[in-house]
Structure 1
Amino acid sequence: MNQQVLGIDWGTTNRRAYLVGAQGKVLRSHADDRGMLAERGRFAESLESLRAAMQVPPTTRVIMSGMVGSAQGWCEAPYLDTDVPLAELPRHLVRVAEAPGTVAIVPGYCQRSGSIDVMRGEETQLLGALALGQGDGWVVLPGTHSKWVLLAGGRVQRLSTYMTGELFAALSKDGTLSALINAPDAREDASAFEAGLRLARERAPLTHSLFSVRARVVSGAMPAACARSFASGLLIGAEFAAAIDEGTAPGKISLVGSEALVQRYRAAAANFGVAVTTFDPDAVYCAALSTFITEGP
């Protein structure tokens, strides 16, 4: 059996690929902006181009995760119920019949009891976190849609999603706050970020608190250059406040995310009295891929 697998984290706008060998050793990697939206209708051709760029032979198995498995993606991989253990993901891969070679997609999860929620792509990172020693407890995966996941016995016991990143992007792109968030002299300001966190702790309605970004600038209470950091702290702080109010925020969390996001979430966690451990997102993804090497799609 070929002891290699090409893993592709194929999201909405970006794509990351890793050729992984035994024990999760990364042999080659690639990243680009050829996400689902860019490649819709030509996924097979895009995969072949990626294989050629990475010098991966067509006989190497391909495991894909993320939005490529959504209804708008290449081939829909139906959600699993959360009572399915993460370790059983290799048994539920969805084969892409029209793809050249052996190509399969990892399904996401759907939480159907209590607050209905879904995730697609993060399940692979959670599987890798388990492989790297994550035990029972909360794992937070910040991003466009931040996921707070309670793991228990290798299963997803609870899932809560916050549209923190998407909301920040929308506010930055258009509307009343966009000019302030994108001010020419905008800078990373720890004090402004912490001020946003403090305001979030007051639990005022978020729509009211967001307007205070503008109010503080036009009143002279805050320089325009600090608006971006203040808004970021406010939104991330609102996420933590909501998690606490829902009873989901514990005394300790594990973070899986980019260095920049982890830095912000670590600061927010400290502000809310939550201890943090971290996992590198590439490491957890590749650890998950290693579990698929001996499993067929």
Structure 2
Amino acid sequence: MEKTILGVDWGTSNRRAYLIDQQGNCLAEHEDGQGMLAVGGRERFSASLDGLLDAMHLDSDVPVIMSGMVGSASGWQEVNYLDAAVPLTELPQHLAPVIDPAWAGRCHIVPGYCYRDGAAVDVMRGEETQLLGAVALGKRDGWLVLPGTHSKWVLLRDGVIQSFATYMTGELFAMLSAGGTLSSMMAGDTTDAEGFATGLNQAARNEPLSNTLFRVRAGVVSRTWPQQQAAAVVSGLLIGAEFADVAHSARELPADGNGAGITVIGSPALAARYAAAAAHFGLKCEVLDPHHVYCTAISQFIKQG
């Protein structure tokens, strides 16, 4: 009988699960709002996972690989970070077994990574699994970008993390939309091309972000640009700040036949925005589907199990 495994991407707010075969094919999938915060405590994760298996009509003995915030200090069981020097292909050798007796031997957690550069420290949980999938799909070198609440820029060389940086892009956008002096102006379309380009242009000048964000308000109240563009300008500023920080380094990498570029692992809407920003900063952009990447990653745990 062919081996299958359940991969669970257990985030802060949401949870996605995929039943995967050895070739990386997705046999069944499920998504719900049972993220770490909704579970409501370490002692409730076991019952939550039971509920997931029931919802997917899976036998209780199916092997489970979990990634993301489930392994954080606020999750089911804290799992130590790996040093960035550990190759991504060695992740299957560093799985942490769940110590809950009900799941012993059949449920494991993928560790995150920690990167240190002098006094600077950065961490990731969950993204490492997608990076493993990208490596398995042939993306062993160059800049990979995982946009979202906390956007990650990761530099790989032969499947090993050389450096990575996190940008609180999605979180800042959500906070600015929910309260503060810009919130009343943030109801417009974030995909407005003119407004987005305005934000990217300002970000490219490397001016202080707190100043350029206030100038969004100034631009609206002075009627320099219409209020409906404000959300797109803010989006351009925040995403552009990522590119302004990293684009120079990306251009210095050896170019392929199409020139220097990045690989984005993200949803179609976010990936389109990052592709537009990449073009603005003179970079090529290839997009990988995050679901396909994750399923490919989970299949690697079967092959090495």
TM-score normalised over the length of structure 2? 0.92
- Aligned-partner SS, 2:12: coil
Which of 38, 49, 52 is matched with 2:54 structurally? 52
- Number of residue-to-residue matches in the alignment: 293
Deviations 1:9-39 (A, max 9, x none): 0011111100111201100001111110110
Unaligned residue ranges in structure 1 (runs of 5+): none
Deviations 1:149-207 (A, max 9, x none): 11112111111111111111110111001110125xx4631111011100111111100
Structure 2 distance, partners of 1:219, 1:108, is 46
Which of 181, 192, 195 is matched with 2:195 structurally? 192
2:145 counterpart of 1:140 = yes
Deviations 1:185-242 (A, max 9, x none): x463111101110011111110000011111111111111111111101110111112
- Aligned-partner SS, 1:52: helix
Aligned to 1:224: 227
Aligned to 2:282: 273
- Aligned-partner SS, 2:117: coil
Cα root mean square deviation, aligned: 1.5
Q: Provide closer, same or farther for how the CA distance between residues 252 and 180 of structure 1 changes in structure 2, counting only shifts above 3 A.
A: same
Deviations 1:105-155 (A, max 9, x none): 000000123431111100000000011111211101111111111111211
Partner amino acid, structure 1, of 2:115: Q
2:117 counterpart of 1:113 = yes
Which of 57, 68, 81 is matched with 1:66 structurally? 68
Q: For 1:1-297, what aligned pairs fall within 5 Å after superposition?
A: 3-41=3-41, 42-98=44-100, 100-101=102-103, 102-114=106-118, 115-182=120-187, 186=189, 188-244=191-247, 247=249, 251-296=260-305
TM-score normalised over the length of structure 1? 0.95
Q: Which runs of 4+ in 1 moved over 3 A?
A: 247-250
Query: Which stretch of the first structure deviates more once superposed, 57-66 or 131-140?
Result: 131-140
Structure 1 distance, partners of 2:245, 2:101, is 42
Q: Could you tell me the percent identity over the aligned residues?
A: 55
Unaligned residue ranges in structure 2 (runs of 5+): 254-259
Structure 1 distance, partners of 2:6, 2:55, is 13
